[in-house]
Amino acid sequence: MNIWRLTTMNLQELLRRLRAGETRTAISRALNMSVNTVKRYRRWAQGQGLLEGPLPELSTLEALREKTYLTPRPPRHPNQSSVESHRAEITELVERGHPPRTIWRMLHGRHPGLSASESAVRRLANSVRQSQPPTVVLRIETGPSEVAQVDFGFIGYLVDPQTGQPRKAWAFVMVLGYSRHQYAEFVFDQTIPTWLLCHQHAFEFFNGVPKRIVLDNLKAAIIKAYTRDEDPEVQQSYRECAEHYGFLIDPCLPRKPQHKGKVERGGVGYLQQAFVPLLPADVTLPQANRLLRDWCLNSAGLRIHGTTRETPLSRFAQIEQQVLQRLPYVAYDPAVWKQCQLHRDGHVTFNKSYYSAPHRFVGQALWLRAGLREIRLFSEKFELVATHPRAKQPGQRFTHADHLPPDKAKALTFNRDTCQQQADAIGPATSQVVAELLASRPVDRLRTAGRILRLVEPYTADRLEAACKLGLAHGDAAFCTLKRILHDGLETMATPELAPPTEETCIFARDPNEFSRSLLGGAAWN
């Protein structure tokens, strides 16, 4: 046995045999070490007084050997790494949890002239990682229904049935902590609506709700990450989801994936290795989800779990399902919250559609809650200020007339029909003036008619009717004329009675036969 590999326990056994008077050859055979090694250790033991008296403890013996016998190996002097000058930067990135390939790409992005290879970065990153003290991980087992872990994982490309083209896809996975039973769903994005709908589908799949959800600090759920000094800031949409279903939100510390290892390895990782390679190349998202649901029940659910030594589905059905929180009686509306500003036109924009709010909030920030069927607008103090049906297609505009200033509201509902109706209500003369304006061609004179009707505001309807009657009598019912009549109070003048229009007859000064004779060569008209 080499002196470098002689264990402390073997050394203690060697001392016992030396004290018993065994020969070097016998000791060599018994401990599988060379005779010369036995000889060297015998000299060392005599010098240290270890062949007589009580044997020291193993720790004392090891310290004595390290101090007085073993010679450290000469250090190796390998060639300097091409990225040694970036050791501090690489160390920081390793501590943040980035893999070597990501570190290599980040270095090239930060230093465009860097010529280091990926393997060089990998070697240095691995050496940094090995030099760090090992991380102690505490495995925590929870009771039935106590906790579920959720995560997203990239799975490649699936065909979009709407376009027929492949798109990046992710797997949403929720794993129950006690039974390890899991729900999984493929999606094309990680937006807030998708995140909320996946939770709804998972709870319906389990037919119950766990008490606590452990998750990463993804943007769909957490606005500001959890730190050791401050609590996390949760998205209002996700907060509302938690309140509806009655679960607690438990974000992990940043860069601590081991805090949700059940879904990291046993959920997303297991799905990526065991199911994703089985998918056909041209499978669409709905088809893949149908296959995935069957796999969760009949494959992942029926395997013997490495930790529990039971099948997740049986453990779930027999114990955990019975104690999950019940689903709410009221159906969940996965609403998205968004802060927006009321534009000058009195509308906010959401998903390329427009919704009005009271004009007193123009220029101010509002909270918008977008449910599946309804849009609600709140003030900054969460006072409800407007409610609209949700648009079914982009470009739709929803406007309440009472949200606009009075003058703007009138303009919103003013058209040719309403214009004529208002004129009819004032009187026959006004009705005739407006009717002639609306019948005018080719210029649209609706605006002029509206200006005439608005003369009621500074004056009265009776005075406007009298002015229109006077204008018609004199053959001038233009807006300027009517305004001048009302301004000067001339509408009280006597209005001449006009003779009704009669059919005019043409009288020739000369006999028509004279024209016929000259034009037709003397032929007379019969």
Q: What is the pLDDT of residues 225-253, one digit of tens each?
A: 666 666 778 888 888 899 999 999 888 76
In a shared domain, residues 378 and 311: no
In a shared domain, residues 294 and 364: no
The total domain count for the chain is 5
Lowest mean pLDDT among 169-173, 305-309, 406-410: 406-410
Q: Is 328 within a domain?
A: no
| The last residue of a domain, from among 403, 430, 448 | 403
Q: Is 75 within a domain?
A: no
In a shared domain, residues 195 and 292: yes
Classify 314 as helix, strand or coil: helix
Per-residue confidence (pLDDT) for residue 520, from 0 to 100: 44
In a shared domain, residues 454 and 514: yes
In a shared domain, residues 399 and 423: no
Tell whether the model's pLDDT for residue 498 goes beyond 50.
no
Tell whether the model's pLDDT for residue 517 goes beyond 80.
no
Judged on CB neighbours under 10 Å (0-12, 13-18, 19+), 369 is: buried
Domain that holds residue 15: 8-68
Classify 115 as helix, strand or coil: coil
Q: State the Cα–Cα distance between residues 115 and 383, nearest whole angstrom.
A: 59
In a shared domain, residues 161 and 91: no
Tell whether the model's pLDDT for residue 390 goes beyond 80.
yes
Question: pLDDT-based confidence at 195, cuts 50/70/90?
Answer: very high
Question: pLDDT-based confidence at 177, cuts 50/70/90?
Answer: confident
User: For the whole model, what pTM was predicted?
Assistant: 0.57
Average pLDDT, the chain: 82
CA–CA distance from 499 to each of 83, 146, 473, 502 (Å)? 107, 96, 10, 8
The two structure tokens encoding residue 260: 């949700």
Q: Is 363 within a domain?
A: yes
Assign residue 259 the CATH number of its domain.
Answer: 3.30.420.10
- Higher pLDDT residue, 451 or 512? 451
Per-residue confidence (pLDDT) for residue 257, from 0 to 100: 53
Lowest mean pLDDT among 111-115, 120-124, 437-441, 483-487: 111-115
| The last residue of a domain, from among 346, 378, 403 | 403
Q: State the Cα–Cα distance between residues 378 and 357, nearest whole angstrom.
A: 9
- Higher pLDDT residue, 80 or 492? 492
Q: Which residues of 28-64 are buried (b: 16+ CB within 10 A; e: fewer)?
A: beebebeeebbeebbebbeeeebeeeeeeeeeebbee
Per-residue confidence (pLDDT) for residue 24, from 0 to 100: 86
In a shared domain, residues 359 and 306: no
Q: State the Cα–Cα distance between residues 340 and 318, nearest whole angstrom.
A: 48
Q: Is 74 within a domain?
A: no
Tell whether the model's pLDDT for residue 208 goes beyond 90.
yes
User: In this predicted model, what pLDDT tens digit does every residue of 55-70 receive, in sequence order?
Assistant: 778 788 888 887 777 6
| Rounded average pLDDT over 435-459 | 87
In a shared domain, residues 373 and 460: no
Tell whether the model's pLDDT for residue 172 goes beyond 70.
yes
In a shared domain, residues 174 and 311: yes
In a shared domain, residues 274 and 158: yes
Tell whether the model's pLDDT for residue 324 goes beyond 90.
yes
Per-residue confidence (pLDDT) for residue 451, from 0 to 100: 87
- DSSP category for residue 209: B
- Higher pLDDT residue, 230 or 158? 158
Judged on CB neighbours under 10 Å (0-12, 13-18, 19+), 210 is: buried
In a shared domain, residues 23 and 49: yes
Per-residue confidence (pLDDT) for residue 501, from 0 to 100: 47
Per-residue confidence (pLDDT) for residue 211, from 0 to 100: 92
Residue % of the chain over a pLDDT of 90:
20
| The last residue of a domain, from among 378, 403, 428 | 403
What type of residue is 410? K
Q: Is 138 within a domain?
A: no
Q: Is 408 within a domain?
A: no
Tell whether the model's pLDDT for residue 507 goes beyond 60.
no
- Higher pLDDT residue, 263 or 368? 368
In a shared domain, residues 439 and 469: yes
Per-residue confidence (pLDDT) for residue 523, from 0 to 100: 45
User: Cα 427 to chain center, whole Å?
Assistant: 60
